[in-house]
A and B are shown apart, each in its own frame.
Chain A
């Protein structure tokens, strides 16, 4: 009986959390369309998410492209299809690995930072202070961050795509003995606008997931330092899971 009650409570809490998150999103979106706006806050977050994530995203993409070239070569060489390496690297990076790795890296870096900083603001009454100073926390904290995430992530994904393909190129030329001219030509010929579109769409979606989860868990932080820790962990874990789920959904949609 106690077990049934526990499961029931978990179900009720889950449904409550889903509704709370939907309301949170509605308020966030509503504030995009109702002035005043705070461009400085938006710009600060745009730079924080985009520019300062560049090193980690670039490194990840570079090595992903390099590994992909090596592995696809070892597989394709067994049935004399080495020429397909450039095409596979390009498609895998632009459609899947670029967006997913960029998303996961930014989730770890930005999702955690947002949840921790907003959570700390919550437990130290800074969110309440904003309200008493007639400032909506949604307008000032949440909405600009989520918008910045949605707009900057596609740019990060495009950069990750270029660097990832370049990583594959480097290994193919220096390790695998490909002709650089042929490799570039193969990459160019296999590239379709749809590949980049998918990557950009995934980037925008992942940007929305990372920033909304970071802000949501931060905003509803309860307790002290322990609560902030939990909010940070939840933001990173759930945004990573959602990135992988939505990656499949978007891939299926564009398939």
Chain B
């Protein structure tokens, strides 16, 4: 008996342009439940735009985008915010709220959306901080007192605070040293496994992709041109992917 895989993120024939410039030209991508997919691609190829479309932060010109089985392109404002409750996002630079302490950042949705009492929310925030390897004493610090690696970890703790079933990671290792990059990669793998979540990571860091991904897809010229397992990167049978992996311009 074969078990049918359940699609959690589905993009079909998605187009997006800015003025005369087309960034996405018929993007098709399906990500299944529990899968960790890495979207690889050069800068300016539409990786961030793809994620912003999936998060509903931007509107597609045409095409279909389904998240958790629901078409998000015609969502009302209420549906949009309701849908985002099941989604976590780690932004490239953390996007921590400057005016709030670390624990208030992590517990933001618990305090303001779930209306949890502050003591309980703080307790959960500290647990989440410990999950990402940060000590409890960090909880009362302000974001501008944190290093780059710590900001990413706090961002990760915030992304997983409400136990989402989908997590997006935007360039999680950019700007970090190789050791801290590895720490973040391990944390991503562990958090995604613990939550049983579906994950989509955008990056151009090959080492990070190999570590995080169950499946890697390559975006080029607004479309997916290659898809395979991390080990397939060694022999991708695609000239562009081969050049990308080796860091050689075409």
Contacts and interface: CB of A to CB of B under 8 A. Distances in A.
A140 interface: yes
Interface residues of A, number: 17
B95 A124 contact: yes
Contact of A132 (B55, B77, B97): B55
Q: How large is the interface on B (under 10, 10 to 19, 20 to 34, 35 or more residues)?
A: 20 to 34
Interface of A: 36, 38, 117, 120-121, 124-126, 128-129, 131-136, 140
B75 to A, nearest CB: 12
A41 to B, nearest CB: 9
15 contacts: A117-B99, A124-B93, A124-B95, A126-B96, A128-B91, A131-B80, A131-B84, A132-B84, A132-B88, A133-B113, A133-B158, A134-B82, A134-B84, A134-B113, A135-B81
B109 interface: yes
Interface in B76-129: 77, 80-82, 84-85, 87-89, 91-93, 95-99, 108-109, 112-113, 115
Interface in B119-173: 158
Nearest to B168: A132
Contact of A134 (B52, B81, B99, B115): B81
B89 A135 contact: no
B57 interface: yes
Nearest to A125: B95
A198 B81 CA distance: 42
A125 B80 CA distance: 18
A31 B81 CA distance: 14
A28 B134 CA distance: 38
Contacts of B89: 129, 132
Interface in B44-82: 52, 55-57, 77, 80-82
B77 A136 contact: yes
A131 B108 CA distance: 12
Considering residues A126, A135, A140, which has the most beta carbons from chain B within 10 angstroms of its beta carbon?
Answer: A126
Given A131-B56, A133-B108, 18 more contacts: A38-B112, A117-B99, A124-B93, A124-B95, A126-B97, A128-B52, A128-B55, A129-B89, A129-B91, A129-B95, A132-B55, A132-B87, A132-B89, A134-B81, A134-B84, A134-B85, A136-B77, A140-B112
A135 B77 contact: no
Contact of B109 (A38, A126, A133): A133
B113 A126 contact: no
Contacts of A140: 112
Contacts of B109: 133-135
Contact of A135 (B52, B92, B98, B113): B113
Contact of B97 (A36, A129, A131, A136): A129
The 8 closest A-B pairs by CB, nearest first: A129-B95, A125-B95, A132-B89, A134-B81, A134-B84, A133-B109, A134-B85, A125-B91
Contacts of B91: 125, 128-129
Contacts of A126: 95-98
Contacts of B55: 128, 131-132
